[in-house]
Chain A
Amino acid sequence: MKNIKNIALSLVCVGVLAACGSDDKNTTTAVDNTQGNEQVEVVHPAATFESVVKTNADQAFAVYSDALISAKALQTATDRFVADPSEANFVAAKQAWLNARESYGQSEVFRFREGPIDALTKDEQGNWTLVDGQGPEGAINAWPLAEALIDYTQDMDGHEMRDTSASVYQPGGNIIADSETFSQITKELIREKFELDGEEANVTSGYHAIEFLLWGQDLNEDLTYTALRDYTAGHRPVTDYYTTQNIPADEANGRTCTSGEQGARDEICQRRGDYLKAAAALLVEDLQGVVDAWNPESGFYYAQYTQADNAAVNLGAMLESMGRLSFGELAGERMSIAVRTDSQEDEHSCFSDNTHRDIWLNAKGIRNTYLGVYTRTNGLELSGASIHNLLITKGHTELAEQLNAALDKTMAKASVIDQTAKSGKSFDVQIQQAQHKEEIYAAISALAEQTDLIQKAIDALGVSAEDLKQDTDENL
């Protein structure tokens, strides 16, 4: 296994990133090249602001590339499933979704800094530009989803929801059911209807839309929706995708198109398949834009991010992002609110019960940024000058060790949540049980501790926005 790492580094330099030019040879050196030796040691003798930011830019390209590759695999799997809705293809499509989340979860540390994910958009001339808040993040990963606007759902009283709630939009109840208002379900339609009627809660695209279309609402096994939850994820039946054109040859029970437990018109299943395909295609398209912006060869954002003049600002942004994701987002919105309100709605991947991975992967992404490492989906390992090295280089060894230990502690606590979920108690059940609630709070505390240390690192390196900006601007 270790051997692979050795190869990995050189491969990365040769092919995948094509950006490990001569200028970072002095910062990224694979020491042991002996074939068969299990030890790979990466040293970074002179971490600088520039080299750390460059590592980070390469990591961004790698992690978004992985997200894109796995999103394309997801698209292939969902296309295959819609064409041939066999149980095997259904399982494969869900697995492809779970796979796709592994890299995306680690990419979220690249948010909160007006980077492509939050800010990439096109100007009036159709050129890429950055406008904070206009990026594809919402369309890619927004939650909670407005599931009732997409397809059939039921509320807690067991009533089928004709319309949501979330929508100002009314007529036929949901986009899949309403062929009159939405005659064709296409990528363009979904993009256009995102945040329908100017309503931010009308999230109808991205990972969680696809998740909902694969798993369905996370009801109990008996398809009730009760305050006390069982351990199962969503129960969407494969027959939700049956049309007269595609019913599998081995269908033994003569089943036809359904909407959950109820039979449905063929058209509904057809349109549901259209939605799934279009949502996957849109996800690929949105991620492609982000990957292109970070491309070391041609990406406009990569070029600007790695400029030496911007190094201090971007190093500050890296640390700020680590802090923002650690605390406000992960500890707060993705964990604390869910535990505090016992709310499945505030569980990130609520249809598939994959929230434990979201938590673990977000934490991992923060650690990746700090250590300048990232393990690609195919096992290749990226490594370069890191914040950890830089702190040591600048004489803050003790702080570096503390922060490193704090990140490890967070990973250990997040792993408890992850393991508990893998043993069958999903996150939405954990937030209802005293022992597991404590474990979740332990992870939250660890995230709080690491946030304080990240703050100290910002101060130690002198890269807070405040340090960098002289407030003497007359126009202020």
Chain B
Amino acid sequence: MLSVSCMLSVALLSGVSAQAQARTVPAFSEQELYPGGQATARRVAQRTFIHPAGNVPTIQQLDFWDGFSFFRDPWVASPAITKDRDGLGPLFNARSCKTCHNDGGRGRRAKDGELAPPALLFRLLKTNTWGVDAHYGGQLQPNAVRLSHHTLSKPVLGEGNVRVHYETIQGYYPDGTAYSLIKPSYKIEQLSYGSFEADTVISARYTPAVYGMGLLDAISEQDLFAQQDIADEDQDGISAKYNLVTNIKTGQPSIGRFGFKGLHATLEQQIAGAFVNDIGITNPLFSQETCTNVQHACKLAASIDPKGTLDIPKKLHDLTTYMGQILAVPKARDLSSDKALQGRALFYQLQCHVCHTPSYITTKDYPVAALQAQKIYPYTDLALHDMGEGLADQGRENLALGSEWRTPPLWGIGLQQRVQGYQAFLHDGRARTIEEAILWHGGEADKTKHRFMGLSTNERNALIYFLKQI
């Protein structure tokens, strides 16, 4: 028994080595220690990811901190005596950005048997077309303001809740090492506006970390399109596809690079979308509250504000966007150690880098000077890939099918535990470790995952060690 498994792993190993010889691992560059280029945070994150880009002069960082106050402070319902902080709801998921993006990272994930916390939201999608639920809109908003305005008599009701359960799945590596994964299932509870439309499905989204987004925003569209390979013409088994969405500001189709399925074209639009959908804050890009036609009290509540006024005006929305743009990527940590470099070599040999594109040089045209022409290491192609049935849901989001997910950036993922005090990975937070996240890869990534599984324990650890340092 022992000898068999030994032989097996030897065989697999030698297979990897043979491939490795054919594939060059790029020489390590000192630049990799600064994944955000000169815009990398000056210090390693200890308790929070909230740091301005390291190359922004102190006095200009004031705008960052001013913007941060709109990220951090809870919004209250209008009308209120706090003119700059009112406009919450009528329907909402959370009262502040910070509620979910705790410390700029990812909020608490759901425990087994719990109602989904704010950091886990549910998009309402259709199975075959791109659309939203007629009764509930594009996402489930569990909370509603209770209004006291003298013209209102009917309360607005939160839309409903979702209870989360996990099922444990046992598995084994080829070398016999056991692992366990947990797979979430969701039960919708207390819907307030009747049932969903028949073809509506839910799609869970666990809040992403928000640092480094400005640099992703600053990658040129050409550099991304160059990686598109919808029909897998290079026959590497990987078919990068970009989600094309409308850039609200220009009206033009653009690559959707933000959101787990690439829903928004720009960071500004992503932030504006979160403001209006998650907090109920109307803004220069999305000026209408999210009430549907059956949500009468919501509509009435939304009508209190004088026509044409936004909950957050352009001046302050711009500040918040700026804060998001220059929110810095953490420095790499122990990346030049032997162990990390071993893991780094495996990252390339296993072909992880085919989707997790290591590096770009950002465009010179980006409106924020600090982010222009920076050599960055986000490890993502920002493209959609079929990730297999294990991660799929049934909803369609523009061009993205249920099994397709946008490659997330990997920079800084190893800091979650230290900064947040807990960690969770993937679009719904189901993976408790980076290792589990890798094991959930399927579809196009299935082969790569099996290459990972075929590594020795030491090699697997080295690869994960590398991922924790970038």
Contacts and interface: CB of A to CB of B under 8 A. Distances in A.
B180 interface: no
A156 B84 CA distance: 12
Interface of A: 114, 132, 144, 147-148, 153-157, 159, 161-168, 170, 173, 199-201, 217, 225, 327-328, 331-333, 336-337, 340-341, 343, 345-346, 444-445, 448-449, 451-452, 455, 464-466, 469, 471-472, 474-476
Contact of B337 (A168, A465, A472): A472
Contacts of B465: 474
Contacts of A469: 44
A345 B79 contact: no
Interface of B: 42-44, 46-47, 58-59, 61-62, 65-66, 68-69, 73-86, 95-96, 145-146, 148, 150, 316, 333-334, 337, 414-415, 417-418, 465, 468-469
A143 to B, nearest CB: 11
B79 A157 contact: yes
A136 B230 CA distance: 56
A136 B262 CA distance: 42
A465 B95 CA distance: 32
Contacts of A225: 81
B85 A345 contact: yes
Contacts of A167: 146
Contacts of B414: 476
Given A157-B79, A165-B76, A341 B417 contact: no
A465 B73 contact: no
Given A465-B43, A471-B333, A476-B414, A165 B79 contact: yes
Nearest to A326: B58
Contacts of A448: 58-59, 61-62
B46 A199 contact: no
Contact of A155 (B42, B47, B81, B415): B81
Contact of A165 (B43, B59, B65, B82): B82
Contacts of A341: 84, 316
Contact of A345 (B75, B84, B95, B469): B84
Nearest to B333: A471
Contacts of B47: 114, 132
7 contacts: A132-B47, A161-B148, A165-B81, A166-B76, A168-B145, A465-B46, A476-B333
- Residue of B69, B76, B86, B337 contacting most chain A CB atoms (<10 Å): B76
B78 A345 contact: no
B65 A346 contact: no
Contact of B62 (A201, A217, A332): A332
B74 A200 contact: yes
Given A328-B68, A345-B85, A475-B417, 12 more contacts: A165-B77, A168-B146, A200-B95, A225-B81, A332-B65, A336-B62, A343-B83, A345-B83, A345-B84, A346-B84, A448-B61, A465-B44
Given A166-B76, A327-B65, A333-B65, A345 B81 contact: yes
A337 B69 contact: yes
Contacts of A200: 74, 95-96
Contacts of A345: 81-85
Given A328-B65, A333-B69, A466-B44, A201 B83 contact: no
A164 B76 contact: yes
A178 B465 CA distance: 57
Nearest to A346: B84
Contacts of B76: 164-166, 201
A337 B82 contact: no
Contact of B334 (A331, A452, A464, A471): A471
Contacts of A445: 59
A452 B81 contact: no
Nearest to B415: A476
A148 B417 contact: no
A150 to B, nearest CB: 12
Contacts of B96: 200
A165 B337 contact: no
A331 B333 CA distance: 31
Contact of B417 (A343, A455, A465, A476): A476
Contacts of B42: 455
Given A331-B62, A337-B66, A155 B80 contact: yes
Contact of A466 (B43, B61, B78, B150): B43
Contacts of B77: 165-166
A367 B342 CA distance: 48
Contact of B43 (A331, A346, A464): A464
A217 B82 CA distance: 12
B61 A170 contact: no
A240 to B, nearest CB: 18
B76 to A, nearest CB: 4
Contacts of B79: 155, 157, 159, 165
Contact of A156 (B46, B83, B417, B468): B83
A444 B62 contact: yes
Contacts of A170: 146, 148
A476 B80 contact: no
Contacts of B58: 327, 448-449, 451-452
A217 to B, nearest CB: 7
Contacts of A472: 334, 337
